[in-house]
Structure 1
Amino acid sequence: MIAGPQRATILRRAVRVTVAASVGFYPLLYGAGLPVAALYALFAPIAMGLLSVVPGSGPQRAAVMLRALPPALVLATLGTLLAVDTWAAVGGMLVIGFLLAFVAVAGPRPAGIAPGLQLFYILACFPPYAPDTLVERLAGLTAGALLLAASETLLPDPAAPSYRERLAAALDEAARGAAPGGVAPERLRDAGSTLRLADVPPAERPAGAGRADRALEQAGRSARRLLDQLATLAEAPSAPADPETAALLGRVAELCTACARFLRTGSRPPPAGALEKAMRGFQADRVRLASGPP
């Protein structure tokens, strides 16, 4: 049984594809008398909006579709020209299939639109071989893609919190957990669970190969580890905290707050190496106390 929110998402997706396909197909077929353009205007929303699962909000999906339009035009052109010979079309399919499969390394959105791009090549390869209809094909494809992008913008799905927002909220919770008074261990662990990539929508996962995604993923793992340690500390039997430990926890709380603020605003980044400096000071105090007179 599909849950209510998922049903609503499916319904909105169906409405977007139906509106884009209908608005492109009927005017081109019955108004302009261009059956080939109408076919491609009908197929483009189906390929990019229904048979391709592009994660993200409406504007994000629209941007992906607009960026995918030039490659789609190139693939439709190649399919139209290579349809002159079966083996040429097969060879093109092998090369294009490999390249589109490799696109997945760029992140979930390029990987999501790849099946639709491949379908444009496949449709153009279907007989009959008609290079004289290339302009109509490209015009219909362009119209369908633009209409679908407009539908994605006008009928968007509710936006999900980004990974930066999740990380900032988790760091705020860690700051409260490190401050005097603390936070219940369950709340700390729940905050850490929101950073698991398996629980994050695909569009918001820092899964790309760029520096920003790698930094967010590493920060998420570090924050989860910190929250787990704070939860373990909160579960330990209560004991009077020594000044050094209290000072270190206070510094951790300050840095977590500063990092959360930076993630939200992009201004006033925390000083580099501040936590390492506090930890070295804590370790030096421990060594001094351990080596001092009894």
Structure 2
Amino acid sequence: MPKLPSPAASFGGIGRAVRVSVASAAGFYPAAYLLDRPVLALYALFTPIAFGVLSPLPGSGSRRTGTVLRAAPAAAALIASGTVLAVTTWTAALGMLVVALSLTFGAACAPRLASVVPGLQLCYILACFPPYAPATLPERLGGLALGAAALCLGEVLLFPSSRRPSYAVRVADALDLAARTARVLLRAETVDSERARLLRTTGRELRFSRQPHGGRPTGAGRTDRALAHAGSAARRLLDQLATLGELPAAPADTASRNLLHGVAATCEETAGILRGDRPAGGAELIEEMTARFLDERGEPRREAAHAPTRSCGASRPC
């Protein structure tokens, strides 16, 4: 049997339905019955549906409001283009081809744009649909503005969803956990099963499949690429710390202890950078610690030839 949605997901769907319904009614009925403007009413009804239902906008209510406001100028340009190109079927079809290719390519380069692509495409489709009526362009743009304003007010006032931490904050929290675990290993040389389970669970939660749509750093820009590399490195570090803490307790050598000190300090520094608490720095500290560790472990110790010691170099690299 298919898994039923959680109560939180069900409540989120109900809240979204209420917000879109109220926003659509608030724009449609006054424009249709009080102002007697059917075109204005149509676009005031269509805009909340396009960006509230057909476009899966991620994040909290304030973030979705910002997304709608940023997408409104592009929607207005597409409505104007569709209104002008509706003069013939061929021009409307060629315009649809250009719009579809541009939005698809833009969504591939900037994944955060993918959430509004369905709504933007529908803005063009509705505008280029017959009849050809360029004189109604002001009413169409007015309906877009009215519907977007009603939807934004609904996102902020009606069942606003809580703000979820960004991927950078999640990676920073994981690095704080890694720093605390490294200091525990320096004191106790082992970690309990609960902490090892927490390390692995935190690492799994950094996978892109566990992140909401629109919050995954999958873009082509250097910021998204850096966050993706940081998340992958944090996941591997958490897994290695869990494995290292589960090894039988044994005296750790000086090189491994120095490296754990460097890991803890670097994790704390990187977490502060990801949260914006300190300026970005270089990787000199961890590179120096790694080079020193490799130099000290370059010549095997005689006592290690008979009994393996518990260190960062045992079983797998730290």
For Structure 1 versus Structure 2, the TM-score category normalised by the shorter chain is: over 0.9
1:24 pairs with 2:35: no
In the other structure, the counterpart of 2:316 is: none
Q: Does 1:239 align with 2:250?
A: yes
Asked if 2 retains the 8 angstrom alpha-carbon contact of 1:193 and 1:224, the reply is yes
- The CA deviation at 1:190 is 1.2
Residue of structure 1 equivalent to 2:79: 76
Residues 1:253 and 2:259 aligned together:
no
1:1-294 alignment, distance < 5 Å = 1-155=4-158, 156-179=160-183, 180=186, 181=188, 182-183=190-191, 184-267=195-278, 269=280, 272-287=283-298, 290=301
Please tell me the residue identity of whatever aligns with 2:209: A
Asked whether the 8 Å contact 2:200–2:238 carries over to 1, the reply is: yes
Amino acid across the alignment from 2:180: R
Unaligned runs of 5+ in 2: 306-318
Question: Retained in 2: the 8 A contact 1:64–1:109?
Answer: no
Residue 209 of structure 1 aligns with an amino acid whose one-letter code is: A
- Given the two structures, how large is their TM-score scaled by the length of structure 1? 0.93
Residue 174 of structure 1, CA deviation:
0.9
- 1:148-176 Cα deviation digits (max 9, x unpaired): 12222223222212112211111111112
Change in CA separation of 1:86 and 1:270 when aligned onto 2, cut-off 3 Å: closer
C-alpha contact (below 8 Å) 1:54/1:108 kept by paired residues: no
Give the superposition deviation at 1:135.
Answer: 1.2
Q: Give the TM-score, by structure 2 length.
A: 0.86
Unmatched tracts of structure 1, length 5 or more: none
Q: How far does residue 264 in structure 1 lie from its aligned partner after superposition?
A: 2.5
Aligned partner of 2:66: which letter? A
CA distance in 2, matches of 1:129, 1:36: 13
CA distance in 2, matches of 1:94, 1:269: 43
What is the CA RMSD across the aligned residues, in angstroms? 1.9
| Percentage of identical aligned residues | 50
Contact 1:255 1:270 (8 Å CA) reproduced = no
Please give the per-residue CA displacement for 1:7-44, whole angstroms capped at 9, x wherever unaligned.
Answer: 11111111111111111111111111111101110001
Pairs aligned (count): 292
What is the Cα deviation at residue 287 of structure 1? 2.8
The answer to whether the 8 Å contact 2:203/2:235 transfers is yes
CA distance in 2, matches of 1:219, 1:109: 19
Shift of 1:122: 1.0
Distance 2:110 2:104 in 1: 12
2:125 & 2:282 partners in 1: Cα distance?
A: 54
CA contact (8 A) 1:207 1:214 kept: yes
Maintained 8 Å contact 1:65/1:149: yes
Equivalent position SS for 1:149: helix
Cα distance change on mapping 1:231 and 1:147 into 2, 3 Å: same
Deviations 1:165-192 (A, max 9, x none): 2111111111122122354322211121
What is the rounded CA distance, in whole Å, between the counterparts of 2:241 and 2:72 in structure 1?
A: 49
